[in-house]
Every structure is written in structure tokens, then in C-alpha cells.
Amino acid sequence: MTSRSTNNKILPAGEIAGGAAGRKVFVRTYGCQMNVYDSGRMAEVLAPQGYSQTETLEDADLVILNTCHIREKAAEKVYSELGRLRKIKDERARAGKPTLIGVAGCVAQAEGEEISRRAPVVDLVFGPQSYHRLPDLLVRAAGGAKVVETEFDIDEKFEHLAEQSKRMPLARAASAFLTVQEGCDKFCTFCVVPYTRGAEVSRPLGQILQEAEGLAAAGVREITLLGQNVNAWHGEGPDGRPWGLGRLLRRLAEVDGLDRLRYTTSHPRDMDDELIAAHRDMPELMPYLHLPVQSGSDRILAAMNRKHGRDDYFRLVDRIREASPGLALSGDFIVGFPGETDADFADTMDLVRRVGYASCFSFKYSQRPGTPGAAMADQLPEAVKSTRLAELQTLLSDQQRAFNASRLGITCDVLLEKKGRQAGQLTGKSPWLQAVQVDAPDALIGTIQPVEIVDIGANSLFGRLAGGQYGSISPVDGSRQEAAF
């Protein structure tokens, strides 16, 4: 193992003390939970090289933008941020402080050499399957090379990270992400993921267990399994045969210290009987499921290449709710896909009303270069898409408020994760993935406590420890209200 020094020479790991140990890295993360996971692993890869994380751009010797290509104008937002970073890099250079700037993630994968051409301030560009090679890439960049590394090699990355997790158990929060699957074979016509993350690859069971056990040993109580199509996971089991996600969840429930399990994001076509049964049988598997449908119109679903219809989705939701009646359902919707008519949009609104969601993400369709949807005729005017999105979001917000209101007065287990905004307040997570604010001492961070829900805010539930001696926080003005017991 090696470490970077202040004069960019390579030092043995034992010589990190001194200049190299003072190196700082700033990582800005855009987009999905998998990018959050990747950013954390980048920090772990860099730690043996003498880099510690900083929240201040101006203090960073290395700046990494971990980008996402899903949102509208994602690439242009990155270039805008790079313009700001150029000024910071110039100011630090005048003070004798060299700075390296890297662009990682899906925009890096999609744009490649174009980023170096348009933004000479960038020293290295690397895709989501290359960050385990960061130490070597930094050596090349520090030597003056313009580095572009966008080759796909998910297996190599997973093997490297598995070995790293043995060497470097780091302190963790009460909950953590764990990537088990990457890539996508579905090729929805609106989506860039197959082109930026590659084909579906599943990590083997042994690697996942090793990482999960390390997280639990570091104090993690809840793990969320990640994948572009996480329920398509079919990793190699101990007998050399593929396991499914339902079986993986049951095995993870046996890890000492892990009390809660979640997974995201799922595709309706990959919800098999074993996984649905896990929702029925496993108290460790939280009663929350993110199950995107994207549209309620069969015609638009076919144009999106979703490979399922609205009735297929209805039947699947019925089966899941029969197995787990208290489950909260979340979803994704895209409005204004090319050719979407008023009737198609009405079908989406009808689906939302019939299903009933606890929470949802909804977006206007935007063209992604290289995807089939971008070349389709009948692209809709922005005004039409904006009007439809506003109507859909009003309905979804009403459903979310109704679901939150249905929690009022219940007592549920809450994982207390960190300090809240108010003194003496902790923020936690309900079984249904809602933020919960509760008065409690810091000593309870990282524990799961029964909490009575006493009030509902716009974005949070407010509770008090069941049978405890602490007050609650009013969501209206933040004042403390003493509870009667």
C-alpha cells in the first residue's frame, strides 16, 4: 500500500505521517444513493494515501465531483461547477497550494474526453467502475498527465473493495448503504444507465456478507442494499449457484448487530415469489418498497420499453400488499414522454389514485443524448410537461400527507441516527422511511427506540419516547412542549 506526500512522491503506507497525512479531499455527490455509496468508498480508497475529508472547498488539495446523468442538464451543471472550481484552483495556486480536480460518476463515463477538452481545469476523469484505481490515477495526474479512465470492470472493482473492507474498517453511522448489484439490462428508452453503468453484474454472496459484517461490527444497525435493478441480484452463493435477493436478505438477517434491512431500486419484472415472501416473513425487512412504474399508460409503457403493463403492476402491488398489508409503497413517474397524450396522462393519474403511494419521485421527461427516447418524434412542449407535472405532484403530495397523517397516535420503533436541529433533539427513521424528530439524549444515537408519534410536519413526523421523560418538539415553531405521561 502506498501514500501520496506533499511533493507528490509515493511513500510506503508507514510514512503517511507528516505532509501526506495533511492532504484533504472534498467530494461533492450528485444524484442517487449509489453515488453516495461510491463517494464513501472513494474516501476509503484515499485514506491510506493520506487524504482526510473536508467540507470546505478552499481547503481541499483534491476535489472530486461524483456526478449523476439522470437529472436534466446534468452535464451542463457539472461544467458550471467546474467554472467555479477553476477560480478556487487559481487562488490556491497563487498561494503555493496545488489542487487536483477530478470528475467521477456517470457524467464522466458518458462525456469522457469531452470533459477534458471543454474544461482544462480538470486533471482526471474516471467512471463509476474505476474509482478503486484512484491512487494510481492521482499519481499520473500529479505528474502532469490528463487522465481519462472510463473502462468497465465491475468485477475488478468489487474484488478490490472486498479486500479493502478487510483492511480498513471505518467508523460508521447507524445506517449505511451497501451496493450488491450494478448496471442494467432493461434498456428503458429514457435511461442512460445501461450506457454509463454497463450490463447487470451481481456481487457474490461472500463479498456482501464480508462487507455487511464489517458494517455491523462498526455499529451499523440498518443496511440498505443498492442496485440499479437491485431485485435482479443473482449473486453466487456458497454452493456456486446463484441466489436471489429474497434469500440474500434472509442470510443478512442472521448477521449479528443488523436489525433492519432495506433495498432499492426495484424493477416490477424482478419481484419474484421468494422476495415477496421475504416481505411477509421477515421482521428485519422494513415495510417499505420503492417500486417505480414511470407511467400509467400501456402505450407509453411500451414506448418506454418497460416490458410490463399497468395491469401487471396492479396485480403485483396486490400480491405485495397481501403479503405485507402495512407496507408503504414509493415510486417514480416521468411525465411528458414523447407522444404522451392527455389520455395517457389521465391513465397515469388513475394509476396513482388506485395504488396510493406513501411517497414518490416525479419528473418531467428530458432528452438524454444516446438514448432512443431522445430521437423520438412528438417531443412535448415544456409548458405541457410543466402543467402535467404540477397536477401529478399535487396528487402525490396529497397522498403523502394522508399517509403521514395515518401514523399520528401510533407507537413505532425508530432508529435514532443523529442530532436534530433543536437542542436535545434527535432525528431518526421510521420503519416506513419517514424522518422522525424526537427529544432524546445523545446517548441514544444508534439505538432503536419505541416512539409515539404526536404530531405531523410537512417533511417529518414528531414523536416522544414511549414511556419516557422527554418533551416533544412542535413542528410549527420549534418550541419545546412538555409531554404528560
| DSSP track, 104-161 | EHHHHHHHTHHHHHH-TT--EEE-TT-GGGHHHHHHHHHTT--EEE----HHHHHHHH
Region 127-133: mean pLDDT is: 80
Domains of the chain: 2-151 (3.40.50.12160), 155-405 (3.80.30.20), 411-481 (2.40.50.140)
| pLDDT of 60 higher than 70 | yes
pLDDT band at 9 (very low <50, low <70, confident <90, very high): very low
Q: Is the pLDDT reported for residue 444 higher than 70?
A: yes
What does R_g of the chain's alpha carbons equal in angstroms? 24
For the chain, how many helices (H) and strands (E)?
14, 23
The answer to the question of whether 32 is labelled as a binding residue is yes
Spatial neighbors of 226 by CB under 8 A, at least 6 apart, are 33, 34, 37, 177, 178, 179, 180, 181, 263, 264
Does residue 68 have a known ligand-binding role? yes
C-alpha cell at 235: 449473486
Q: Could you tell me if 338 and 299 are in contact, meaning their C-beta atoms sit under 8 angstroms apart?
A: no
How far is residue 269 from each of residues 26, 115, 185, 196, 230, measured CA to CA in Å?
39, 36, 12, 22, 12
pLDDT at 274: 98
Give me the percent of the chain exceeding a pLDDT of 90. 65
- Check whether 476 has a pLDDT greater than 90: no
Q: What is the pLDDT of residues 75-106, one digit of tens each?
A: 778 888 999 999 999 999 999 999 999 998 87
> Quick one: which H or E segment has residue 77?
helix 74-94
Q: How many residues does the chain have?
A: 485
Residue 262's DSSP bridge partners are 224
Q: What is the DSSP letter of 361?
A: E
Nearest-CA neighbor of 361 among 393, 336, 390, 387? 393
Q: pLDDT class for 10, splitting at 50, 70, 90?
A: very low
Q: Is there a binding annotation on residue 360?
A: no
C-alpha cell at 3: 501514500
Reference 386, options 26, 72, 13, 40; nearest CA is 72
Q: What digits encode the pLDDT tens for the residues 164-206?
A: 555 544 546 899 999 999 889 999 999 988 887 888 989 999 9
Lowest mean pLDDT among 28-37, 122-131, 168-177: 168-177
Helix (H, G, I), strand (E, B) or coil at 322: helix
